[in-house]
Chain A
Amino acid sequence: MDETKYGFWLPVDVSSHGAQIDNLMAVVHWFMLLLFVGWGIFFVYCLVKFRARPGHVATYNPVKAVFTKYIEAAVVVVEVFLLFGLSTPVWFKYKGRPASEKDAVVVQLVAEQFAWNFHYAGKDGKFGKSSTATMSGDNPLGLDPDDPAGKDDITTVNQFHVPVNKDVIVELSSKDVIHSFNIPVLRVKQDAIPGTRIPVWFHATQPGHFELACAQLCGLGHYRMRADVLIDTPEDYAKWEKENAPTPSEEQPPTAQQPAK
């Protein structure tokens, strides 16, 4: 993992929508800084100029100030712009479906204390049936062994392979408590809530090895509920799919647990 990509401010962004979030973040912070410095100058000026000292008396009548109204109006205008100009467009994009949904890679993700179970459809593009009713220690995803669609499915634990430059839809669920799917470099976060299946999508723009962190307190192992995020070149991704495709003799798809690259 490239540790130089992280520092005291936003880490590297490798997503298609992240630039808009980073842009909003920059604009908001400049706005905050401007207001704070402006207020700060006035504040310090007042504390010095109007300090109690012999011969100085306070003014009873309130100072007539028009500029406070202008500042408040400006704050309203900037906030409307932040809201509808910068925040909502990227939020609607993030909450919508990817443009090329048909070509997107779909991954089903089932979170549990304290691991991430990834489920890929495999070559046929069809997920085998799964159900919480058949989940057990040996079958963490509750796959139906008799479903032919599931014969070529790939499952992994804490290893999240995705191709670069392609839309990826992750269908999130949880089998026990609330977890949160959080990949800082992809500017993606979404709670995984038991009893629901919530989609979230992204489009990675650079290959690399990153991390998925659980962002919602989920118990004593919350802090170590991490997964490797491997954004592969198309060739690497195809190779990984091939290597991990189950052989026909196998009843259950294997669980890939290769060490991090």
Chain B
Amino acid sequence: MTAPTTHGATTHAGGNEHSHDQDHGHEHAHGHELPFWRKYIFSVDHKMIGLQYGLTALVFLLVGFSLMMLMRWQLAYPGRPLGWVGKLLGENAMPGGVMAPEFYNQLGAMHGTIMVFMGIVPLAVGAFGNYVVPLQIGAPDMAFPRLNMASYWAFLPGGLLMIYSFFMPGGAAQSGWTNYPPLSVLTQVPGQTMWLFAMVLLITSSLLGSINFIVTIVQLRAKGLGFWRLPFFVHAQFVTSFLLLLAFPPLEAAAVLQLMDRLAGTSFFLPTGLVVSGEQLKVAGGGSPLLWQHLFWFLAHPEVYVLILPAMGIVAEVIANNTRKPLWGYRLLVYSVIFLGFMSFVVWAHHMFMTGMGTTMSTFFQTTTMIISIPSVIILTCFLMSLYGGAIRFTTPMLFATAFLPMFAIGGLTGLPLGLTASDIYLHDTFYVIGHFHYVVAPGTIFALFAGIYYWYPKATGKQMDPTLGKIHFWLSFLCMNGIFMPMFFQGMAGLSRRLYDPTIYAHGRAIQSLNVVISWSAWGLFLAQLPFIWNFFSSLARARAVENPWSATTLEWAAPSPPPHGNFPTPPVVYREPYEYSVPGQTSDFHPQFAGEA
């Protein structure tokens, strides 16, 4: 297609020549092809960076998932050799084909770390945030394109170093994804140091991204795009960016302190008088292991909302689009996410009820935890009410977005007995906790991310993904996800602790060992369920071009060509109305885009 530009150049489909107006002073080469390495590798285009983030994060998600599939073998069949896979992993990890406990602990720690910090956050924020936010606000790019590139190039080495730590002597970090000292400091493997180092890079990447999002959303909105006309996804990313900006620095500082404990002989997290294997430890002492927990959870609880808020944003977009009506309670939703973001900073110590805190502290934190459940209930109610009165199209993205609702409900509700101190005495650190947060993050957030991939794939490629393969992917994933996580609540109620290499050591573990077999087979089934998705993702590139606005959507990203050229919009778009004007009475078509002027 061609489009008029201020420079008299023409753009062509898929071309990299930009054509937008130059208010925003970011640099790019004019009127000539960028070299390959500037276009695809060290790109400053938010869309290329978004795709880089997305593809990298999907690969990391698969890696993190593979680690879990290995753990599931040991849990289903403790001590049974694992054939050629065992041989492949070598004698250190799998002596005689049987998993070593150290290796099991490495898999556990790295599964959590990879999924959260290298998979979901980069996919939800780095990929969807980067790709969609500038388009939805009608901006030519992010406010600081070079900062954006720096963010990806801090993320990638961080992720690669994290994976590399498996190949270091002694293997990867093995003290849980929470990396609690003194264990994490006393574990004498270099992989443990590498974990901290890689985390510093990953956190830096998120910080650079967050400041960029805030400035972009505040400064680069199109004409007419007021706060109450922003799509809900942009609101969600805006709050998320503040969470990243405010919560990550404490963990970055804590990671540096722990690096010093490991490398420089300090004792920030080591108390006086440690005796390890009968030997007095020669350290200065005087530190506190709980200091780390506070710093870690001060990040990691807002982090939970960093995972879920963009997911809610995607679900809102897909629901509005596929119910063909405005979101129910749009303003209520916005107020709720802002409140959620604020409250997420004052609930962190509910992860630490068993550390011996006093009753005043614990009463405060269990009360704030109950309070934070209210906006979550409101958000869920708004989404459910949005279905009422719609004309619901069950497209692939809608299937995933619809399933998000009951899955998030289960994840949210099961947080109640964990947030109440008395029931937490029993449930703390059991499989109930694992079931709870996985329902929020796996069939919750990951389903929303899948919805986003199916929904915006036509935007990024100009092609539609195959709907039949999409439906197969959805139904198999839905079944397997529940097969994995539902039994965990029963394991937790039976008292089974998490992070156990061999659960059959305990009588209460033996009583429910059959569930581990169910869970493991569901997990391997979930892997098979992803094959249609992987095939669909790549093979759809060869499909015929889709129409320009295949979902008949109203938001600004559909005003740009697909895929959008460098600079996004041929002419700066103007916004005339609210984001979800579907089925407006008296209109001929059932959608009235934000960017369409009055006829």
Stretch at the interface among B119-127, B215-223, B460-468, B493-501: B493-501
Chain A interface size range: 35 or more
- In the complex, the answer to whether B584 meets A60 with C-beta atoms within 8 Å is yes
Rounded to whole Å, the gap between the CB of B501 and the closest CB of chain A is 4
Does A82 sit at the interface, judged by CB under 8 A? yes
- In the complex, the answer to whether B490 meets A8 with C-beta atoms within 8 Å is yes
- In the complex, the answer to whether B271 meets A194 with C-beta atoms within 8 Å is yes
Rounded to whole Å, the gap between the CB of B287 and the closest CB of chain A is 8
- Which of B176, B329, B508, B582 counts the most A-chain CB atoms under 10 A from its CB? B508
The residue of chain B having its C-beta at the shortest distance from the C-beta of A182 within the complex is: B497
Does B253 sit at the interface, judged by CB under 8 A? no
- A136-B278, A177-B186, A191-B354 known; A24+B590 contact, CB < 8 A: no
CA distance A136 to B378 in the complex (A): 57
The residue of chain A having its C-beta at the shortest distance from the C-beta of B332 within the complex is: A68
- A8-B512, A217-B176, A219-B187 known; A195+B354 contact, CB < 8 A: no
A47's partner among B280, B387, B583, B585 (CB-CB below 8 A) is B387
- In the complex, the answer to whether A24 meets B423 with C-beta atoms within 8 Å is yes
The residue of chain B having its C-beta at the shortest distance from the C-beta of A46 within the complex is: B387
- Which of B176, B393, B499 counts the most A-chain CB atoms under 10 A from its CB? B499
Residues of A174-209 contacting chain B, CB below 8 A: 175-178, 180, 182, 184, 187-191, 193-196, 198
The residue of chain A having its C-beta at the shortest distance from the C-beta of B515 within the complex is: A8
Rounded to whole Å, the gap between the CB of A104 and the closest CB of chain B is 19
- In the complex, the answer to whether A32 meets B429 with C-beta atoms within 8 Å is no
The residue of chain B having its C-beta at the shortest distance from the C-beta of A7 within the complex is: B511
Chain B interface size range: 35 or more
- In the complex, the answer to whether A50 meets B374 with C-beta atoms within 8 Å is no
- In the complex, the answer to whether B377 meets A72 with C-beta atoms within 8 Å is yes
- In the complex, the answer to whether A175 meets B274 with C-beta atoms within 8 Å is yes
- A72-B378, A176-B275, A195-B273 known; A189+B358 contact, CB < 8 A: no
B590's partner among A5, A58, A72 (CB-CB below 8 A) is A58
CB neighbours (8 Å) of B358 from chain A are: 95
Rounded to whole Å, the gap between the CB of B581 and the closest CB of chain A is 8
- A79-B370, A136-B278, A220-B105 known; A87+B510 contact, CB < 8 A: no
CB neighbours (8 Å) of B501 from chain A are: 220, 222-223
The residue of chain A having its C-beta at the shortest distance from the C-beta of B416 within the complex is: A28
Does A16 sit at the interface, judged by CB under 8 A? no
Stretch at the interface among A36-44, A151-159, A246-254: A36-44
CA distance A57 to B389 in the complex (A): 9
- In the complex, the answer to whether B280 meets A133 with C-beta atoms within 8 Å is yes
CA distance A178 to B420 in the complex (A): 23
- In the complex, the answer to whether A51 meets B392 with C-beta atoms within 8 Å is yes
CA distance A52 to B174 in the complex (A): 51
Stretch at the interface among B31-39, B200-208, B406-414: B406-414
Rounded to whole Å, the gap between the CB of A142 and the closest CB of chain B is 8
- In the complex, the answer to whether B389 meets A59 with C-beta atoms within 8 Å is yes
Does B214 sit at the interface, judged by CB under 8 A? no
CB neighbours (8 Å) of B105 from chain A are: 217, 219-220, 222
- In the complex, the answer to whether B385 meets A52 with C-beta atoms within 8 Å is no
Does B288 sit at the interface, judged by CB under 8 A? yes
Stretch at the interface among B338-346, B359-367, B446-454: B359-367
- In the complex, the answer to whether B422 meets A36 with C-beta atoms within 8 Å is no
The residue of chain A having its C-beta at the shortest distance from the C-beta of B380 within the complex is: A39
Residues of B265-280 contacting chain A, CB below 8 A: 271-280
Residues of B159-186 contacting chain A, CB below 8 A: 174-176, 180, 182-183, 186
The residue of chain B having its C-beta at the shortest distance from the C-beta of A93 within the complex is: B422
Does B390 sit at the interface, judged by CB under 8 A? yes
- In the complex, the answer to whether B389 meets A58 with C-beta atoms within 8 Å is yes
Residues of A7-54 contacting chain B, CB below 8 A: 7-11, 20-21, 24-25, 28-29, 31-32, 35-36, 39-40, 42-43, 46-47, 50-53
Does B473 sit at the interface, judged by CB under 8 A? no
CB neighbours (8 Å) of A31 from chain B are: 416
Does B506 sit at the interface, judged by CB under 8 A? yes
- A189-B425, A191-B356 known; A46+B381 contact, CB < 8 A: no
CB neighbours (8 Å) of B359 from chain A are: 91-92, 95
CA distance A51 to B289 in the complex (A): 55
- In the complex, the answer to whether A75 meets B505 with C-beta atoms within 8 Å is no
The residue of chain B having its C-beta at the shortest distance from the C-beta of A82 within the complex is: B420
List 11 additional A-B contacts (Cβ < 8 Å) besides A60-B583, A86-B422.
A9-B494, A11-B494, A29-B417, A39-B380, A42-B384, A58-B582, A135-B278, A137-B278, A195-B272, A213-B497, A223-B505
7 contacts between A and B (CB under 8 A): A8-B512, A40-B406, A42-B384, A43-B405, A59-B390, A63-B388, A132-B274
- Across the A-B interface, the 7 shortest Cβ-Cβ residue pairs: A195-B271, A137-B278, A184-B495, A132-B273, A59-B389, A46-B387, A6-B511
A residues with a Cβ closer than 8 A to B are: 1, 3, 5-11, 20-21, 24-25, 28-29, 31-32, 35-36, 39-40, 42-43, 46-47, 50-53, 56-60, 62-63, 65, 68, 71-72, 75-76, 79-80, 82-83, 86-88, 90-92, 94-95, 112-113, 131-133, 135-138, 140, 142, 175-178, 180, 182, 184, 187-191, 193-196, 198, 211, 213-224, 226
